[in-house]
Amino acid sequence: MTYRVAIAGATGYAGGELLRWLLGHPGFEIGALTAHASVGDRLAAHHPHLLPLADRVVEDTTVDVLAGHDIIALALPHGASGMIAAALEERCPEAVLVDAGADHRLTSAASWAAYYGGEYFDPWTYGLPEMLLSVDPRDKQRTKLAGARRIAVPGCNVTAVTLALAPGLAAGLITPDDLVAVLANGTSGAGKSSQPHLLASEILGGASPYAVGGVHRHIPEIEQNLAGAAGGAGVRISFTPTLVPMSRGILATCTARLSPDVRGADVRAAYEAVYADEPFVGLLPEGAWPSTSSTLGANTALVQVALDERAGRLVAICALDNLVKGTAGAAVQSLNLALGLPETQGLSTIGVAP
Distance CA 125, CA 23 (A): 25
In the set 92, 156, 254, 318, the catalytic residue is 156
Which residues are CB-neighbours of 65 under 8 A, at least 6 positions away? 6, 32, 34, 59
Distance CA 225, CA 334 (A): 16
Q: Is 156 marked active-site? A: yes
Classified as helix, coil or strand, 301 is strand
**8 A C-beta contact, residue 105 and residue 152:** yes
DSSP secondary structure code for residue 235 in this structure: -
Distance CA 143, CA 66 (A): 28
How far are the Cα atoms of 286, 297, 347 from residue 344, in angstroms, in the given order? 26, 15, 6
Helices 219-229 and 156-170: angle between axes, nearest 10 degrees:
30
Burial of 79 by CB count in 10 Å (0-12 exposed, 13-18 middle, 19+ buried)? middle
Quickly count helices (H) and strands (E) in the chain: 10, 14
Distance CA 247, CA 328 (A): 16
Closest CA to 325 of 10, 21, 1, 7: 21
Peptide bond into 354 cis (omega under 30): yes
Supply the residues annotated as catalytic: 156
